[in-house]
């Protein structure tokens, strides 16, 4: 059964969704969808690989986190934790955090299968269960940030758990994708809605309860969230679609990727006082 069938998804609403309802919907969705997600994308994300985005940019090449050797790294919204396992293989000490127990079950199984078991923590990104300054770096590849109602809280929490000088690098849907439908084909080339409309995308069940939520922030909103949390923005990476890449990954496709960006990767650090 698909996640939609399991959750009784009855339609789409455009309405406000607060932090608690967003978190509940995300937990429901990712628990229900974990098996399908891994069946569909498992090969693309790998078992112990750090792929930042559907454009195929790898941390092994991009080195956005710097040299990970010996670093305590928090992966936020890790899913099945392929990135954390890659970091472990590089000599880092990662911790993988995710809201979904089903995703973390996959992470545990893959940890055993690869011999790269990493500590797994089930929690929401808006309230990290770690002491201040307990990590040297933090990262996220499409985990948590696009799904939370209050991303500024995630930024503040990550700043709190990072030591001064620590990097926080996270990838999200490029904000301009919000204007288009999720169709990877030609129909996904026509603007459907305003870039400036922050009303969340919400799938609902027959009782109107949210079963899946995505929140939109403009580029400016994201920069303001970072600055307000006290982070320094070092780079904004917009990976270009590689000439020879034919993969279609959800809404990401060669057709769209060659015309406009699909991913924004914010490279930041917590400054020394
Ligand atoms: C698109 S997946 C990406 C994960 C990973 N990079 C991968 O490719 O498997 C998004 C992940 O974010 C997690 N997530 C969503 N909302 C979250 C939240 N508020 N706190 C922590 N994790 C969250 C989901 O459970 C899911 O595992």
Over range 26-38, report the average pLDDT. Answer: 98
Model confidence pLDDT, tens digit, residues 191-230: 999 999 999 999 999 999 999 999 999 999 999 999 999 9
**Per CATH, domain 3-269 is 3.90.1150.10:** no
pLDDT of residue 185: 97
Identify whether the C-beta of residue 107 lies closer than 8 Å to the C-beta of residue 79: yes
Over range 89-105, report the average pLDDT. Answer: 98
Over range 109-131, report the average pLDDT. Answer: 98
Rounded to whole angstroms, how far apart are CA atoms 20 and 93? 31
Residue with CA closest to ligand 1 atom 13: 77
pLDDT tier, 45 (very low <50, low <70, confident <90, very high otherwise): very high
Q: Which atom of ligand 1 is nearest to the CA of 30?
A: 25
Q: Ligand 1 site: residues with CB under 6 angstroms?
A: 23, 26, 30, 45, 77-80, 98-100, 103, 124-125, 141-144, 147-148
pLDDT of residue 7: 97
Query: Which pTM does this prediction carry?
Result: 0.97
Q: Is the dihedral of CA 153, 198, 223, 66 positive or negative?
A: positive
Which residues fall within 8 angstroms of residue 90, CB to CB, at 6 or more apart?
Answer: 68, 69
């Amino acid at each position: 059964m698909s996640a939609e069938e399991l959750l009784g998804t009855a339609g789409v609403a455009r309405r406000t969704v607060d932090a608690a309802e967003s978190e509940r919907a995300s937990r429901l969705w990712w628990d229900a969808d974990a098996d399908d997600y891994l069946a569909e994308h498992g090969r693309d994300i790998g078992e112990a690989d750090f792929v930042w985005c559907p454009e195929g940019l790898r941390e092994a090449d991009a080195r956005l986190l710097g040299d990970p050797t010996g670093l305590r790294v928090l992966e936020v919204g890790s899913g099945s934790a392929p990135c954390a396992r890659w970091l472990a293989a590089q000599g880092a000490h990662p911790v993988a955090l995710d809201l979904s127990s089903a995703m973390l079950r996959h992470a545990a199984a893959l940890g055993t299968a690869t011999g790269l078991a990493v500590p797994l923590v089930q929690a929401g990104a808006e309230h990290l269960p770690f002491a201040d300054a307990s990590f040297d770096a933090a990262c996220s590849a499409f985990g948590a940030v696009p799904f939370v109602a209050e991303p500024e809280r995630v930024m503040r929490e990550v700043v709190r758990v990072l030591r001064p000088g620590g990097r926080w690098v996270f990838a999200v849907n490029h904000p301009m994708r919000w204007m288009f439908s999720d169709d990877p084909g030609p129909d996904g080339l026509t603007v459907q809605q305003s870039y400036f409309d922050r009303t969340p995308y919400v799938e609902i069940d027959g009782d109107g309860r949210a079963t899946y939520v995505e929140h939109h922030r403009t580029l400016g909103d994201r920069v303001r969230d970072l600055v307000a949390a006290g982070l320094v923005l070092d780079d904004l990476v917009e990976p270009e679609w590689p000439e020879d890449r034919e993969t279609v990954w959800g809404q990401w496709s060669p057709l769209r990727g060659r015309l406009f960006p699909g991913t924004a990767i914010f490279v930041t650090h917590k400054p020394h006082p």
